[in-house]
Amino acid sequence: MSKATALIALPDILVEAAVKIALEEDLGLAGDITTRATVSDCVLAKASISVREPGRIAGLQIARVAFRLLDPAVTFRTDISDGDYSKPGDTIAHLSGPAAAILTGERVALNFLSHLSGIATKTHAFVKAIEGTNAHICCTRKTTPGLRAFEKYAVRAGGGQNHRFGLYDAVLIKDNHIAAAGGVEAAVKSARAHAGHMIKIEVEVDTLEQLDELLSLPVDAVLLDNMSMAELSEAVKRIDGKIVTEASGGVSLDTVRGIAETGVDLISVGSLTHSPKALDLGLDFLS
């Protein structure tokens, strides 16, 4: 996916619930005492949100909701879409309406917009780094509590793909599951017996010997964890397209190209969501 138009918008009910929590956190019991003390309710204003460093944008819908919840009279217009590239100085949103609502909603809107745009920007850098290979970049469950759906949306805005959303939508048998279950075969057979026909099963291995044992079992994907480039290449060769291959563990922009060139299908990168740099954005009133 390279165009933001391919994105499916987040459900309004999900966005509103998260934004309400953020606004309540900021407003507390007394509301915006600074704005109430300095700005009359009848004052109207125009403002713009602009970009101060290059990056991919994500979170416009959430920013719009932040202002709408405070006052439906605030208009929020944008000429771009989530996933689009913006350069320093570009205006990504135009606002007009009651000045008080714009002032009160500014930080919540920018917090979401800057954070999610940072994720989209970082994701796109990884996607560009493996351009021309058959691999795809995907995220993990290493997300901010309460913001997973938004952060995974931002990954898609950056051109990446989503891994499972939680413990409920796919089976991923990791080393500790294997240890507790009594081995790879026992864990897989038990998982297959319990999983419905719509549930995929993936198993983590960190050695080629574990992989060989796994290949005779009914799994859909294998997570090749912290393997060297040589091991990844050999693993892909042994799998020979029979199941989906995913590489993970310490992936960086310096190593991701080499990992992709081993022939793996997916490369999961936890840092996309657990340590992105927020994109620098600003809201300014217009005279």
Which residues are catalytically annotated?
107, 142, 174, 204, 225
The span from the CA of 205 to the CA of 189, in Å, is: 16
The span from the CA of 146 to the CA of 153, in Å, is: 13
Place of tokens 């999961």: 268
How far from 19 is each of 44, 67, 97, 161, 191, CA to CA, in Å? 23, 10, 20, 24, 37
C-alpha of 236 from chain center:
27
